[in-house]
Amino acid sequence: MAESFEIRQLNMIPFSRRLSRFMLYEEKKEDGLFPAGLYLHLTADMYKPGGVFVPGRKRGIIHLSPIRDGKELPYKLKATPSMLTMETEKGNIEFTIDRPEILRIRSCGVGLRAFSPLFRMEVPLRMNDGSLELFYSNLGNVLIRAIEGAADFNTVWRLKDWRADDVICDLTPSQNGIMEAAIHEFAATEAPLEKYRPFDLCEKEAADDFSLWQKKYKEPCGDRELFDMATYITWICMQRPRVDAPYRLLRGNMMYNNRFGIDYVNLFEQPLLAMAFEDRNAKAELIGNVLDLMSPDGMLPAFTNNKEPQYGYAAPPVIAIAAKETAGELQGPALSKLKKLAFWWLEWRDPDHDGTVSYAYAKETGFDAGLTIRDGLAVKSPDLLTYMCVLSELLSETDADSGAYWKEISRGMLGKLTDTLWDGEEFVCRRSKTYEKVMGTDFLGYIPVLLGSKLPGDIARKLTDAVSAKKAWERKDQVPLAAYLVKGFLELSQKERAEAAGKWFIGFVKEHGFVNKIGAVMYSSWSASAYLYITAALGI
């Protein structure tokens, strides 16, 4: 049962909640100003400690430790999706997340010390009601307030250094031994709460929310613990537009790639995240929220967060793969945006003017750019023509006015894919204009397996034989490949090969976990969703 599910690696997967920026995680090693231990952190749109950009680095803003009579106590951590507990010999401290912008704290017999190292322009303010407001660069404001018991803290401003001294806030119990406190994600214009809801109610609501989230996925036939962990990861990675950002870019809830380091929405990932849902409305909602990020002319950025979109290069139209699965639930505006997306690629990425499309940058493949096309752009690539073939086929079925036009576009994409990019043995990338073969990474040539029976029989047979012989799914650096190969094999009724690919991936996450580092960035929702999709598709 989910109620007994325990989060065991708090150094890799934090305690958090759906839509909440709060997270509690464990830092195993001391790092300069930051001692080892439990930290409170907020989802960061961009993090530049001391003005230096550090990719993929965790930096908790507040170090937390239990205290008794002013002395810190040793403790053990235990976490479920709805509550984290610091266990000591003198008493326990419990944390839960309420409505998701308030972190609630409760203890019996012990207090809590919150230590916050501050950089330049990070400011502590003592409020009139005795609470403490802290401003953090690139993160926003938090408010620490005692509900029962007392909050004692120092706030010293060092004018010579133009910075505040590091803050220590001690939350101590009342005479009956109980301490309750709240830490808010706070905007200065907000009126303070006059009354807080019962702690147990907040914890129950968090548990119920996680249970409802799990119902969006197909119940597992096999490993329940892996299912719980995968759904927990996607639950905490689902984030909302920043409430304190007046010019926020996100229009709806989106699933971040991770909760540590540089947090952003990778639009190449989102289709697989949507495909993992069994709930078709959940699929359609996420697809619609992705399409809401489209520029006025129809371009989808490679990635974004609430502050910084990356329109320097485009996300590939892989959203078509997920949209095809749930076309019946997509509303009119979403279908109109899919049409605009197709027109954008036809207008801006067709240097040969032959009705097919090309990548202008290696990063537009969505895969790790260091492993894809390296020696020639613009490039016609089999993965891109696959996505466009599916997208135009979808539009031919849903666009009542222009269905015949899109059917012809789909045939053209498929024809160019099989006539030009198939060399008799494999799919290859070719330069636009010259059609010279480009030395790239072979896995881009495996993506056409997603076309299933639309591929000519001899090509499908040679392609799947080659993929199987090479065990091409054994790529830990390209998370979605195994899931896409499973999908393609099943559409070609090659269940044994689908199971071979799926079982390898399941074994991989059993051994290594869901946190997957590619380059400088850690991914977790991607691999969790791949696992959920594969187990649901194969019924294992």
pLDDT for 326-353, tens place per residue?
877 888 899 999 999 999 999 999 998 9
- The string over 183-204, giving b where at least 16 C-beta atoms fall within 10 Å of a residue's C-beta and e elsewhere, is bbbbeeeeeeeeebeebeebbe
Which of the 8 DSSP states describes residue 443? G
> Pick the residue with more confidence: 90 or 526?
90
pLDDT at 50: 38
Tokens standing for 528? 């969790």
Q: Give the confidence band of 190 by pLDDT, cuts at 50, 70, 90.
A: low
Cα–Cα distance between 449 and 424 in angstroms, integer?
A: 15
Confidence (pLDDT) at 261: 59
The two structure tokens encoding residue 232: 């927990």
Q: Is 56 left (phi over 0), alpha (psi -120 to 50) or beta?
A: left
Q: What rounded mean pLDDT belongs to the chain?
A: 88
User: Two tokens at 202?
Assistant: 């907040």
Residue owning tokens 């001899």: 458
pLDDT for 77 beyond 70: yes
Of 266, 333, 152, the closest CA to residue 522 belongs to 266
Contact, 512 vs 500, CB < 8 A?
A: no
Nearest to 19 by CA among 213, 310, 227, 216: 213
Closest CA to 283 of 235, 249, 318, 327: 327
Residues 6+ apart with CB under 8 A from 497: 464, 467, 468, 489
Task: Tell me: pLDDT of 206 over 60.
Answer: yes
Residue 312 has pLDDT above 90, yes or no: no
Q: What's the whole-number mean pLDDT along residues 413-438?
A: 92
pTM of the model: 0.93
Q: How many CB atoms lie within 10 A of CB 35?
A: 15
**pLDDT grade for 48, boundaries at 50, 70 and 90:** very low
Q: Which residues contact 535 (CB under 8 A, 6 or more apart)?
A: 218, 220, 221, 222, 227, 502, 506
Domain 2-207 has CATH 2.60.40: no
**Greater pLDDT, 49 or 198:** 198
In the chain, CATH 2.70.98 sits at: 2-207
The answer to whether the beta carbons of residues 166 and 114 sit under 8 Å apart is no
156: Cα separation from own chain's centroid: 38
Token output for 14: 């934090």
- What's residue 245's pLDDT? 61
Residue 160, number of CB atoms within 10 A of its CB:
5
- Place 361 in a pLDDT band, splitting at 50, 70 and 90: confident
pLDDT at 55 over 70: no
95 contacts 182 by C-beta, under 8 angstroms: no
Q: Show Cβ contacts of residue 387 under 8 Å, excluding neighbours closer than 6 positions.
A: 316, 317, 318, 320, 321, 447
Residue 22 CA: distances (Å) to CA of 61, 80, 96, 213: 11, 15, 10, 18
Q: What is the CATH number assigned to the segment(s) 215-538? A: 1.50.10.10
Lowest-pLDDT range, 96-110, 313-327, 396-410, 438-452? 438-452
Percent of the chain at pLDDT > 90 equals 60
The encoded tokens of residue 468 equal 């199987």
- Residue 410 token pair: 């789909």
Task: Find the range with the poorest average confidence among 96-100, 134-138, 408-412.
Answer: 134-138
What pLDDT is stored for residue 260 in this prediction?
Answer: 72
pLDDT at site 232:
97
Distances (CA, A) of 331 to 284, 337, 338: 8, 10, 11
Q: Kindly state the tokens that stand for 499.
A: 């199971």
372 or 168: which leads in pLDDT: 168
- CB neighbours of 78 closer than 8 A, spacing ≥ 6? 6, 84, 85, 87
Mean pLDDT of 306-321: 84
Mean pLDDT confidence for 348-368: 87
The pLDDT assigned to 57 comes to 39
Two structure tokens written together for 23: 């997270």
Looking at the predicted structure, is the pLDDT value of residue 394 above 90?
yes
Q: Please determine, for residue 53, whether its predicted confidence score (pLDDT) is greater than 50.
A: no
